[in-house]
Structure 1
């Protein structure tokens, strides 16, 4: 039995009066209103229920509670609870960022629970996360753009943030067994199955479409898998390759290269169809110029400032209190970075390019056609 308990003086509740079975409850204040979150949650849930052709009208609860993020990053996340999920949201988070989070969390209603078994051992379970988490990430973006809930530009931004983080990951080439062993204690290792799985899902979807002239895609395989899983005790990561093979896709070599051995993944230029292209370039690696983990543990007092990097050259020093990041993007080395700091009782802004010491190969999605209905379809994998 799983449950969610939420309450407070500013509790807002939205009952299931529209026939959807969806209820929403929030506490706290955000950049968006409770009514906006309620409306968005119902739209996202409707899209995914249509995709799976199931659960229409089933009871489901969405809760949201506020958290305070660090000065340099916004935090948000969620966890599934059977017929509910609970969200924890940084109060600075814009409503647009909630689309992906809602889509990801609700997709877990089916993946992996209705697509096959998962390893029961906590230490082994991360070996299956390329499917349960990576595919969920892929469909969170794909279904939202298909439905027009995000624009092609927003779709590209979501992918580009992930691709930049993957390119600069310190564990990018870590083999699968080591990734699983490090998963619970290493933030970069935690992200890796999500990244690898989403990229493989995009690659395999494109191959299925190309081989079948658009008649078959990844949807075809997952819809067959949910049926097969009803009468099978196989793990989801065993059922998927089997059903992919029946649809003309052999995944064995890719799984061995990229998941087991940890070779770097590169998306083909035409992964997302005629509406976009994948650019591959060498550029500086991303570095804030200080030890972010140690700084957070020190109460946002700058720690481990590297004298070899631009942050130091711009004036950042150990001991300064970081109050806020006012410019810049996580993992993006080509966008200027700015920190509001307190230095000897005075506030000032330090600006610099967040370059690391070594260049990296980064892929980015570039939209090449004017947005239209067909563009939304092809970006979404149809």
Structure 2
């Protein structure tokens, strides 16, 4: 079990009542911590410093392991992170396998079943996993990385449809969303069906969407095994806007279908998966009539504005794995810069082929390689680029990895939209961003004259609660709200984390555009 999974602490250090038995009886276990190789696990990573439990003798027959974990509400104390941690909001609990499943340390695949004992819970309690509701079996044998990427939710939860179908879409939610969850889930089901058709899945496996409350970074989500998790906030606050939640759902669901580059391992290849998802989460729903032109533009301009105001916009891709969890300006590059690179590439393919081909063809070609058992690498992407557009496209790709700023042409997002510029201010935290990754967040590196300094923040102040930044970085008007501890006293402090103004690229409707004819 990893000690930390994608910036979230697992229960490795707090589990209790650990017992192991085989056909010969009890097993004595010893624990050690070891740094395992970091590997890609679709939308996350596995490996890193992990706790390994070993038996004092060889195993004989069936191995049974029991342990107890605290199903308390937990926060990703290290800052920005996917919703893996336990939550006990709304008389229910949920968590991803990443943070509580003890698994065999090998690459073997196992038949996997989930069974729930809910006898200690109030009448009507339900249990749902990535495999479906109640007692459920995985649609295929799973290896350790896939097992970790399952999600579990039980207690007083909403489930639709119920019982869950043997194949296709289902959903579950925990707590009290500030919107009608079923209506949102019906939209998501329709999009799932369109995705399945686009990716050629005639009989898609079970696919679950889980919703739960997030007091720290509401509105975010993460793709998991045949499922994904998204989070909501309080009414009127972050994570309560249906349009934004649709984009999160569209993004994470795309991950389930799309190919992944796994070499180089981990976050160095996130430009591919996250860049594609950030483009297609808007492009496909718009194509299928599930998104309006105005909604398309709003989301496009959020990501374009966040990128073209980013002072680290030209940082090389090699910096991403080093500083991903440390600095939001680095963390958002695979999403924003990747999206703009793919939009530019899509436009070039369309125009080169007179509309006969597009980025879709390259994505599906990569998926065919993956389905054939190929572990995808940058070289595979280079091969499809060279075959499609020649050596120039390969040169452009290598320049992109080195940090060159992508700039799609005016009509790259279709004939109804045109490129323009708008004065926007750069995101400026005002102190060392690495502070926010620490368990105890003590301000250092305060920049004199910054908005943070003018608001009264001081070096040595302790920031009590985790601070989400990814959305604030892209929203010109959102203030950063901090709970500060200074000299034994706590107080609130807020400021607009903005610096210099720059002319940033945006897109707008062309004067003669007909919104109903904009899809491409």
Q: TM-score normalised to the size of structure 2?
A: 0.59
* Higher RCO (CA < 8 A, seq sep 6+): 1
Matched ranges for 1:21-100 at <5 A:
21-69=168-216, 74-81=218-225, 83-91=226-234, 92=237, 93=239, 94-100=241-247
> What secondary structure, in the 3-state scheme, does the structure 1 residue paired with 2:351 have?
helix
Judged with a 3 Å threshold, the aligned counterparts in structure 2 of structure 1 residues 77 and 27 are, in CA distance, closer, same or farther, namely same
Q: Work out the CA distance in 1 between the residues paired with 2:329 and 2:429.
A: 15
Structure ranking higher in strand proportion: 2
Judged with a 3 Å threshold, the aligned counterparts in structure 2 of structure 1 residues 90 and 251 are, in CA distance, closer, same or farther, namely farther
* Shift in Å, 1:129: 1.4
Judged with a 3 Å threshold, the aligned counterparts in structure 2 of structure 1 residues 108 and 353 are, in CA distance, closer, same or farther, namely closer
Q: Kindly report the root-mean-square deviation, in angstroms, between the aligned alpha carbons of the 2 structures.
A: 3.9
Query: For 1:118, which of 253, 262, 277 is the aligned residue?
Result: 262
Farther off after superposition, 101-110 or 49-58 = 49-58
Aligned position for 1:140 = 281
Q: Work out the CA distance in 2 between the residues paired with 1:44 and 1:286.
A: 33
Aligned position for 1:204 = 345
Alpha-carbon displacement from aligned partner over 1:180-203 (angstroms, at most 9, x marks no partner): 332344433222122222111100
Aligned position for 1:326 = none
Q: Work out the CA distance in 1 between the residues paired with 2:441 and 2:352.
A: 52
* Shift in Å, 1:365: 1.4
> What secondary structure, in the 3-state scheme, does the structure 2 residue paired with 1:269 have?
coil
Alpha-carbon displacement from aligned partner over 1:7-42 (angstroms, at most 9, x marks no partner): 122443423778962111111111212312321220
2:223 touches 2:253 (CA, 8 Å); kept in 1?
no
> What secondary structure, in the 3-state scheme, does the structure 1 residue paired with 2:355 have?
coil
Judged with a 3 Å threshold, the aligned counterparts in structure 2 of structure 1 residues 155 and 304 are, in CA distance, closer, same or farther, namely farther
1:209 touches 1:217 (CA, 8 Å); kept in 2?
yes
Judged with a 3 Å threshold, the aligned counterparts in structure 2 of structure 1 residues 132 and 57 are, in CA distance, closer, same or farther, namely closer
Which structure is larger by alpha-carbon Rg, 1 or 2?
2
1:283 touches 1:360 (CA, 8 Å); kept in 2?
yes
Question: Gaps spanning 5+ residues in structure 1: where?
Answer: 324-328
Judged with a 3 Å threshold, the aligned counterparts in structure 2 of structure 1 residues 137 and 348 are, in CA distance, closer, same or farther, namely closer
> What secondary structure, in the 3-state scheme, does the structure 1 residue paired with 2:201 have?
coil
Judged with a 3 Å threshold, the aligned counterparts in structure 2 of structure 1 residues 233 and 368 are, in CA distance, closer, same or farther, namely same
Matched ranges for 1:229-244 at <5 A:
229-231=370-372, 233-244=374-385
2:447 touches 2:453 (CA, 8 Å); kept in 1?
yes
Q: Work out the CA distance in 1 between the residues paired with 2:273 and 2:475.
A: 30
